[in-house]
Amino acid sequence: GQQVMQIPQYQHVQEGEDFTTYCNSSTTLSNIQWYKQRPGGHPVFLIQLVKSGEVKKQKRLTFQFGEAKKNSSLHITATQTTDVGTYFCAGPLWGGSQGNLIFGKGTKLSVKP
Partner 1 sequence: DTGVSQDPRHKITKRGQNVTFRCDPISEHNRLYWYRQTLGQGPEFLTYFQNEAQLEKSRLLSDRFSAERPKGSFSTLEIQRTEQGDSAMYLCASSPPLLTPSTDTQYFGPGTRLTVL
Q: Which of 11, 72, 106, 109 binds partner 1 (CB under 8 A)?
A: 106
Please say which residue, 16 or 96, places its beta carbon nearer to partner 1.
Answer: 96
Q: Does 97 participate in binding partner 1 (rule CB under 8 A)?
A: yes
Q: Write out 10-44 in H/E/C secondary structure.
A: EEEEECCCCEEEEEEECCCCCCEEEEEECCCCCCE
Q: Which 25-84 positions form the footprint of partner 1 (CB under 8 A)?
A: 30-31, 33, 35, 41-45, 48, 50
Burial level of 90, CB count in 10 A (0-12/13-18/19+)?
buried
To partner 1, the closest distance from the beta carbon of 28 in angstroms equals 14
Q: Does 101 participate in binding partner 1 (rule CB under 8 A)?
A: yes
